[in-house]
Structures are given as C-alpha cells and as structure tokens.
Chains A and B, each alone.
Chain A
C-alpha cells in the first residue's frame, strides 16, 4: 500500500525540515522547501505543499516554534525555528539514520553468491 511508503517519506521529511531549520535558523515554509530541493540536488521531487503537514506536526510535538514575521520584500510570512526539544530530537533521529545507513551500506556491500 502507498501508506507505508508515505510513512517513511513523512519521517524523512520531518528530519529534513529539522536539519534545515537547525542550519538556517528561522525560516518560512517556502524557504525550507526550496532549501531542501537545493541541498538534495533536486533528487527529492517534493510537492512543496506537503511541507505544511510536516511543519504542523513538528510544531504540535513541540520540536519547532512558529511566529509571524515580515520578509525582506515586506511580505507577511510565518517563520519557523527549531526548539531545544527539536535539536534533541534531531540528534536522535540523525544518529538513527546514520546507523541505519551504515548498516544498510554494509548489508548491500555483501558480495553476491555467485561471486564466492
């Protein structure tokens, strides 16, 4: 089912948002979405709209906070910044991803049977 795929994507997206906010500081939704696209080298084809589900989720969990502010070109926008709890969560999730990635790397690096 597409749901399990979505789950994985959701978790991934949350982590990306947290990391982006941790490096960029305060940022609005469009900025976060653009940043993720740029950093991923446009490998992640993101429906930018989905970022708002992620943002509200993170906000309700208390990992990011939001406040209305004004942009450089004088537009009212909602600015998000990472909270203390968010940083902790980021560290936890990042460690998890690194571990998972290294395990996956090792598993996938195993030689194929016929090569033995």
Chain B
C-alpha cells in the first residue's frame, strides 16, 4: 500500500520538479530564519547568529539534493541527463555519428535477417498442431528418387491397420505435376495445379478448413461424386475470396467438381513438403484407382502421444518388410524398408549446416562492426580525453563516467538497431516473395517478436562490447596526464595507437576468415555451374501440352507427330521433342535388368524412367553415345526397345557392347537400341543414377512436356508456340513456356542463395576492415604531421614518406592476414560438407582471398600515405 502510494508520489514529484524545488527552497529559507531569530534571542550578534544557524543546518545543497533523491526518480534523472548529453555530443559530431549508425545498421540488419531465416526454418515449430508428433515416412534407399521414397496404396493401408505407434498415417500422391488440371468455364482454360491427398490427410496434420469442410471417407471411394478443396491463395485470386463458392461446381479438365471447402491461409503445402511448389487445389486420392500403379504415396504419420521416433522406427523395421506392394500379387516381394524423420528434420535438416554457417558469418560481421566502432570511439576518446579529465576533476565518479559512455554507446546502437530493423523488414519481405528460391518455409520469413527480442539483445550486447573497452580505458586515464596531454606524440597518444593497432589487426583477421569462407563457397558454386548436366538447358524451353488420345497408342503417335511437325515449322525452332518427365523435376523409377542373369540382392538399383518421343534426346541436347534414337517406326506392335544411360550399360553389361542386348523391365523384354551419356536427373550436384528412356509409341507416358530448341531467346517464341498448340487443340490451357534454364536455376537456388548472402557479408566485412585500416593510418598521419614535416625538412623524399606509411599499413594487414589465414585453415573443415569440388584448404582460394585483402589494405593505406607525402614542412612546423 505505502509503497504504491510512494511510487505514485515519486512519479508526480518527478514531473513537478520546479514546484517542489520552489517549496523546498522556501522551507529551508524559513528554517534558517527561525534559527537566526532563536540565536539572536540568545544574545548573539546577527552575523554570529546566521553563521551558527548555517552550521546547524549543515550543507544546504546536500540537504536539498538528499531531499530530491528521496522524493523523485533520481535514476531516471541521471539517465535523462546522460541521454541529453549523449545526444548533444553525437549531434555535434555528425559525421562520426552517421558512420557509426550506418555501420551498426548494416551489421545489425544482416544479423536480424539471418536470424529471421534461421528462426523460421530451424527454430520455430512447424505451423501444425503438435508438430513434434509428425513423422515423414521415407524409404531407406534414396537412389531411385520419388519411387523409392514412396509406397503403394496397399502398403499404406496395411501399415495403417497394423501399426500400434501412430494415431494416424496418411499420405499424398507424389507424382502430380504442376499445371496438371485445366479450369474451364471462363474463356480460355486455365492451368491449375492439383494434389491428390489421402482422406485423412488434413485431419492428420490437424488442419481445419477456413470455409466449408474436409473430405468425407465416402468421397474418397471409387465412383463417388468428385470434390475438391481450394487453397486459400487460389480461392482469393481466382474466386475473389467469394465464400459462396463452397457447395458450387467448377469444371476441372472436362468434369464437374464440387468445391467442399477452402483451406486456411497458414497451410502452404509447398513450403513444407516441396519447396518452391505451389498447389492450387486438393482432391481425394481414390485408392482403388492407384492400387496397381506401384509406389505412388508419400507417407506422413502422427505419433501417439508419448511414443518416440525410435520406438516407432523399431516397430516399422519389423512391419515394413512384410507389407505387400499389391495384395492381389503376394508373390511380388516389395521388400519395403523405411527411415523415419521427424517432419521438422525432413523439412529443415539438410539446411541446418548452411544456416548455421550463415549465422556464424553474420556473427563475425557483428564482431567486426564492434571492433570497428571500438576503434572509432578510441579515436574520439583521444580528442575527448580532456573533457573527461575535466569532468572527473569536477567530481564525476568513474562509474558515472562509464555510465555516460555506455549511454552514448547505447544511443548509437539503438539508432543502429532501428536502421537495421528497417533493412531487415525490407529484406525479409523481399525474401518471403522469392518463390523461385527452393527453400522450405521461406514464404513465412518475417521479423517477428522473437526477432525483435533478438535485435534488442544484440544491440545491447554490441553497445556493451564496443562501448566498454574505450570506456574503461578512458575513465582509467590518469587525470594529470590527460590534462597535460596536449602536444602530439606524447606517451598517452602512443598507448591509444597500440590499442587501435590491435583492434585493426583483429578486424583484418576476422575479415580474412569471412573472405576465405566466402571464397570457398563461391569456388564451389562456380564448380557446380560448370557441371556437365548431360543436357543443354540454354536456348531450350518446355511447355506442357494437352492432348486427348482416348488411351489409344496409335492415335497418340499420330497426334504427337502432328504437334511436332507443326511446332518444328515455326520460324526459329531448331528442333522439338516430347517427354513425360523433364530432368531436375518430377521423377519416377522402375527396375531394369539384363535378361538371363541372376542378381544378388542390392546389385540392381531403382532406375529413372523417361517416356519420350523420337527426337526428344536431340531437342534437349542429351548425347547419344552409341546406337540410335527412337523412330516413329518403333510401333506398339513392333519390337520393344529401350535406351539406357552409360551407368546402366556399365553395370548390366560390364565390358560388353550393350547394343542389341535384351533388357527386362516390368516383366517385359526390350532390345537396347542406344546408350546416352549420364544426365543429372534429380540433383545438379549428385552424379546421375540409373536411367532409361522408353518410346512413347510403345509405353503410356504420364503427361507431355514439349521441349523446343531454338535459335531465338525462348521468351520470343512463346506466343507462336502457344498459338500453334491452340490451333491443333483449342482446349490447350495457357500453360507456361518455361526456359529449361529455370529448372537448373531452381535446383541451384539454395546454393546460390547461400553463396550470395555469404559473399555480401564478406564484402561488408572487407569494407569495414578497410575502413578500420584507413582510420588508424589516417589518424597516425595526422598525429605525426609535425614529425613528418621535420623529416621532410631534413631531406626525406615524398616517396620515402609514402613508403613509410604504406609499410606500416602492410605490417598491420599482414599480421591480421597471418592470424586470419591460420584460423581459416583450422576452421575451414567446418564448412567442408557445404563445398562442392573444392578442398577446404583450396590453395587457389586462399591465395586469391589473401591477395584481395592485401590489395584492399594497400588502397586503404594509400590515401593517408599520399596525404602524408604532400605535407608541406613549412606549414607543418609552423602549425604547432
């Protein structure tokens, strides 16, 4: 009670200082007068009475000060005083303040951006209910792409029934391609991306629709009424967020489909399961339709409460080998294996190291910023030494002086943090809209409360680090010395200079570590760009083609021949071909073996399958090493043929000529007619796996991607290709004409993203180090103007003076570089896993980065060196 009232009174007094002071003055005045009167009554002279009265009162000022302390908020008074003073000093030193705030802003901004990304991808839980229970169920082998990572409908349903560790097991159809539906009814058909999901998919993820309802089990049965759920984004831009759409029918690829609901805005399938992909609509996967398609379902499960991943895994290790691929064919041994990942690990596990490296890099930047500011503050402290000596001579305690300096540092870092936040807001907003970067959850990157807290933390830490060193140093200065330290070249100046040299050396060393790391990553990136993909993405583009062959292979052959002939006739088109799957995008795998040979378990490998038209290999720029391409004469009734890649040829027929040999795939015999050079089918950085190509005239392709090779820029060709396709088939939806380079760029986007950021940070570090060098050398030249003047008067040439300054610069830089290189050498193995075709101790990179640092150091030292050599001895000697 009393304390609250006292607090309120103190606050009131704080805001009514003048009134309270006036009252106090009057009170003390009366007090003295009472005392004087009493003393006079005792017979003292007026002078004696006043003197005695004043003695009894004690220090009038102290009494008043004591009273103020007891009535108001003295700590706030001091803080405000310090703050006012700090602002005044900083305003007076405008250029210093500007440089300091910009440096801090860049350093803090970079840190907040990276923290926001790290927080979103690594730290924040996934945007699902109880996300720690969610498990991604993958095949143990990874060499077969999606097909070895997925399971058949029967296997999924058996596992759902037999397991005891999961509340729910669900899945989605892993082989949908983008733009796989056409939305009809409003003029030209619109390409739409749909994903088929198991009936309990959204229940397992615990996602509630924003509007309407989820699928019912009946809607997931064969011959049920077709239904769909809309993604929030699609609902918003396609149906103007009209809530009445629920219950209505839309036309999808020729059939009416009822919209049953709209999913919440927070659910973004692509950002979690398939970075960079965008899904517009969801439809139920009808299990009976895919039962005989083999492995098609990507599985996700929700563990029962209290069950660990390891417990579930050990149960699954027993269960999975027993699951049937197809219950109607129990003799087909699927030999399923499985590897569980928590969904979080699946989403962000691969990025952990890259992100931590990035975090480390911005940490280094912040350290360099701190060192740089310490340096700037030290330079100022040399100028402010007298001011502080005077203040302590007037009675300011050491704590009070440090407090004053820390307040200044905090004001600086606070302003820097504001600038940094502005930068971070801009950059994260930009990042969140970079759909082309294949990083998970990137769309939800933002500066949130945690990031704000982080900003405050690093701002305070930074202020502490860069403010305390000069603060302690300055406040410990010997008073007398400081007041005397007027001339140049006295001992105090020297001590400052040594401290600053140490700071610059450490700055150069930090920048060196950053540069070498960035150099290694950049070198790796260049190596990745140089990789022989096995196809030529430049000047080629692909577009998804719509056609209707009624399931008739003869008709398809005629349709495709017509399409290819018409497209090839377009001016500028060099070549064209059709495939169902493009490299570096969707993939699937089957098995292949040489006929008549027995294989041990594990000897064969899942093989990527591409069903293509004659001429496709040529149009995408794959290289036929041996044999021939398919022709239109490879008819459904003729001899079945296959083209394999060199890896398959080497493994199935080692040391033999595979042309003309019989291969078996899917239980059928096929003659090998050609061999192509390996293609990077799923990842630019891994060598190609087993690959085979089958003619679309003999097999059923899953969709059609028309690949066009052109002499013109692909964009220029888009309208004429589209109008030709429309002439052939008026139902051709407005699918995108995508340059193949986009596929490669998309695959490389995570690496490009990291390299870009680390390089930016390295350049920033380099600039800061250069600024540090420049500051120290420039300052020492100013300090030594007189000395240089004397030396020049005694006959030193301009060249000699310049050389002297540059030697000094180089000595600092080289010391920093030696320390930095040694550190990098020791630490580079930490990023070894992120390198590609580059040793962590790559000599060329080390040498290159050291050369860059030396060059920058020289440039930073040259400017003051030139100034030094221009010193006019007469002016310099007269000056002091």
Contact status B71-A75, CB under 8 Å = no
- B31 interface residue (CB < 8 Å to A): yes
Contact status B2-A48, CB under 8 Å = no
Contact status A78-B59, CB under 8 Å = no
Some 28 contacts from A to B, beta carbons below 8 A apart, are: A29-B30, A30-B31, A31-B34, A33-B31, A47-B56, A47-B58, A47-B59, A47-B63, A48-B31, A48-B58, A49-B58, A49-B59, A49-B60, A49-B62, A49-B63, A49-B66, A50-B63, A50-B66, A52-B63, A56-B70, A60-B6, A60-B9, A60-B13, A75-B30, A76-B26, A76-B30, A77-B34, A78-B27
Closest CB in chain A relative to B317 CB, distance in Å: 69
- Bound-state Cα–Cα, A9 to B62, Å: 16
> Would you give the 0/1 interface string for B20-33, flagging 1 where the beta carbon is closer than 8 Å to chain A?
00011011101101
Which of B13, B30, B62: most chain A Cβ within 10 A?
A: B30
Contact status B30-A53, CB under 8 Å = no
Interfacial chain A residues near B33, Cβ < 8 Å:
75
- Bound-state Cα–Cα, A82 to B9, Å: 18
> Would you give the 0/1 interface string for B846-857, flagging 1 where the beta carbon is closer than 8 Å to chain A?
000000000000
Contact status A60-B10, CB under 8 Å = yes
- Bound-state Cα–Cα, A63 to B71, Å: 14
Interfacial chain B residues near A53, Cβ < 8 Å:
63, 66-67, 69-70
Residues facing B in A64-111 (CB within 8 A) are 71, 73, 75-78, 85, 89
Q: A-B pairs with the 3 shortest C-beta distances?
A: A49-B63, A47-B58, A60-B9
Interfacial chain A residues near B67, Cβ < 8 Å:
52-53, 56
Contact status B69-A52, CB under 8 Å = no
- B102 interface residue (CB < 8 Å to A): no
Residues facing B in A22-63 (CB within 8 A) are 28-31, 33-34, 47-50, 52-54, 56-57, 59-63
Residue of A nearest to B69 (CB): A53
Interfacial chain A residues near B56, Cβ < 8 Å:
47-48
- Bound-state Cα–Cα, A54 to B28, Å: 14
Interfacial chain B residues near A60, Cβ < 8 Å:
5-6, 9-10, 13, 70-71
- Bound-state Cα–Cα, A59 to B27, Å: 15
- B35 interface residue (CB < 8 Å to A): yes
Interfacial chain A residues near B60, Cβ < 8 Å:
49
Residue in contact with B57 in the complex, picked from A49, A61, A75, CB distance below 8 Å: A49
- B37 interface residue (CB < 8 Å to A): yes
Residue in contact with A56 in the complex, picked from B26, B34, B38, B71, CB distance below 8 Å: B71
Contact status B34-A52, CB under 8 Å = no
Contact status B28-A52, CB under 8 Å = yes
Residue of B nearest to A47 (CB): B58
Contact status A29-B70, CB under 8 Å = no
- Bound-state Cα–Cα, A53 to B56, Å: 16
* Interface size of B in residues (CB-CB distance below 8 Å): 31
Further contacts, 18 of them, CB under 8 A, given A56-B70, A75-B34: A30-B35, A47-B58, A47-B63, A48-B56, A48-B58, A49-B66, A50-B66, A52-B66, A53-B63, A53-B67, A53-B70, A60-B13, A60-B70, A60-B71, A62-B5, A76-B30, A77-B30, A78-B23
Contact status B62-A52, CB under 8 Å = no
Interfacial chain B residues near A33, Cβ < 8 Å:
31
- Bound-state Cα–Cα, A77 to B382, Å: 53
Residue of A nearest to B2 (CB): A61
Residue of A nearest to B61 (CB): A49
B residues with a Cβ closer than 8 A to A are 2, 5-6, 9-10, 13, 23-24, 26-28, 30-31, 33-35, 37-38, 56-60, 62-64, 66-67, 69-71
Which of A30, A47, A54, A61: most chain B Cβ within 10 A?
A: A30
Contact status A29-B63, CB under 8 Å = no
Contact status B71-A57, CB under 8 Å = yes
Closest CB in chain B relative to A78 CB, distance in Å: 5
Contact status A47-B27, CB under 8 Å = no
* Interface size of A in residues (CB-CB distance below 8 Å): 28
Residue of A nearest to B13 (CB): A60
Contact status A30-B30, CB under 8 Å = yes
Contact status A57-B58, CB under 8 Å = no
Interfacial chain B residues near A30, Cβ < 8 Å:
30-31, 34-35
Interfacial chain B residues near A50, Cβ < 8 Å:
58, 63, 66
- Bound-state Cα–Cα, A47 to B59, Å: 8
Residue of B nearest to A52 (CB): B67
Interfacial chain B residues near A61, Cβ < 8 Å:
2, 5-6, 9
Contact status A48-B30, CB under 8 Å = no
Contact status A73-B58, CB under 8 Å = no
Residue of A nearest to B32 (CB): A30
Contact status A57-B30, CB under 8 Å = no
Interfacial chain A residues near B6, Cβ < 8 Å:
57, 60-62
Closest CB in chain A relative to B654 CB, distance in Å: 89
Interfacial chain A residues near B71, Cβ < 8 Å:
56-57, 60
Contact status B27-A77, CB under 8 Å = yes
Interfacial chain B residues near A47, Cβ < 8 Å:
56-59, 63
- Bound-state Cα–Cα, A57 to B66, Å: 11
Interfacial chain A residues near B26, Cβ < 8 Å:
76, 78
- Bound-state Cα–Cα, A10 to B69, Å: 13
Residue of B nearest to A55 (CB): B67
Residue in contact with B24 in the complex, picked from A48, A52, A76, CB distance below 8 Å: A52
- Bound-state Cα–Cα, A28 to B38, Å: 15
Residue in contact with B28 in the complex, picked from A49, A59, A71, A89, CB distance below 8 Å: A49
- Bound-state Cα–Cα, A78 to B20, Å: 13
Interfacial chain A residues near B35, Cβ < 8 Å:
30, 48
- Bound-state Cα–Cα, A57 to B6, Å: 8
Contact status A62-B2, CB under 8 Å = yes
Interfacial chain B residues near A59, Cβ < 8 Å:
9
Closest CB in chain A relative to B46 CB, distance in Å: 16
- Bound-state Cα–Cα, A54 to B56, Å: 17
- Bound-state Cα–Cα, A62 to B60, Å: 25
Residue of A nearest to B23 (CB): A78
- Bound-state Cα–Cα, A32 to B345, Å: 75
Given A50-B58, A50-B63: A73 and B37 within 8 A (CB)? yes
Interfacial chain B residues near A31, Cβ < 8 Å:
34
Interfacial chain A residues near B63, Cβ < 8 Å:
47, 49-50, 52-53
Residue of A nearest to B7 (CB): A60
Closest CB in chain A relative to B30 CB, distance in Å: 5
Residue of B nearest to A10 (CB): B70
Interfacial chain A residues near B66, Cβ < 8 Å:
49-50, 52-53
Interfacial chain A residues near B2, Cβ < 8 Å:
61-63, 85, 89
- Bound-state Cα–Cα, A85 to B4, Å: 14
Interfacial chain B residues near A54, Cβ < 8 Å:
70
Interfacial chain B residues near A56, Cβ < 8 Å:
67, 70-71
Given A30-B34, A30-B35: A48 and B27 within 8 A (CB)? no
Closest CB in chain B relative to A97 CB, distance in Å: 18
Closest CB in chain A relative to B26 CB, distance in Å: 7
Closest CB in chain A relative to B390 CB, distance in Å: 27
- Bound-state Cα–Cα, A61 to B26, Å: 22
Closest CB in chain B relative to A33 CB, distance in Å: 8
- Bound-state Cα–Cα, A28 to B28, Å: 11
- Bound-state Cα–Cα, A17 to B828, Å: 73
- Bound-state Cα–Cα, A89 to B34, Å: 30
- Bound-state Cα–Cα, A76 to B6, Å: 27
Interfacial chain B residues near A89, Cβ < 8 Å:
2
Interfacial chain B residues near A62, Cβ < 8 Å:
2, 5-6
Residue of A nearest to B65 (CB): A53
- Bound-state Cα–Cα, A73 to B867, Å: 79
Closest CB in chain B relative to A72 CB, distance in Å: 11
Interfacial chain B residues near A34, Cβ < 8 Å:
38
Which of B2, B5, B59, B67: most chain A Cβ within 10 A?
A: B67
- Bound-state Cα–Cα, A17 to B716, Å: 95
- Bound-state Cα–Cα, A78 to B58, Å: 20
Closest CB in chain B relative to A40 CB, distance in Å: 14
Closest CB in chain B relative to A62 CB, distance in Å: 5
- Bound-state Cα–Cα, A85 to B35, Å: 31
Interfacial chain B residues near A63, Cβ < 8 Å:
2
- Bound-state Cα–Cα, A48 to B34, Å: 12
- Bound-state Cα–Cα, A30 to B13, Å: 23
